[in-house]
A = this chain, B = another copy of it.
Amino acid sequence: MILCKVRDKCVSTIKNKELTGISFIIVEKMDRNGEASGDYLVAADPIGCGVGETVIITVGSIARTAISNDKAPIDAAVIGIVDSKEK
């Protein structure tokens, strides 16, 4: 999984019918020190994250299990919000 910061919401009216009611967010990959990387992706958000939060994003076909719909054609989803990183 990758650590990302939530940057934007992403609104799409014309979309696949399996995605009705699913929120999409634009997230930016972070490096280890929490610095922005400039790499963005769009992820489904079943948790309800706020802009600026650090989240764990899972990538690939398994992402659909995060929204409990095997027919949802998504490849990225939030699976957790990060509290802290401990050494």
A residues sitting closer than 8 Å to B (CB atoms) are 1-3, 7-16, 18-19, 24, 26, 28, 31-32, 38, 40-43, 46-47, 51, 56, 58-66, 71-77, 79-87
Task: State whether A79 touches B19 (Cβ < 8 A).
Answer: yes
Taken together, the copies of this chain in the complex come to 5
Residues on B with C-beta less than 8 A from A62 are: 60-61, 63-64, 72-75
A6 to B2, CA, bound (A): 15
Given the interface pairs A42-B56, A56-B12, the reply to whether A1 lies near B74 with Cβ below 8 Å is: yes
In the assembled complex, the CB of A69 is this many whole angstroms from the nearest CB of chain B, namely 10
Decide: A15 near B79, CB < 8 A? Known: A32-B26, A41-B1: yes
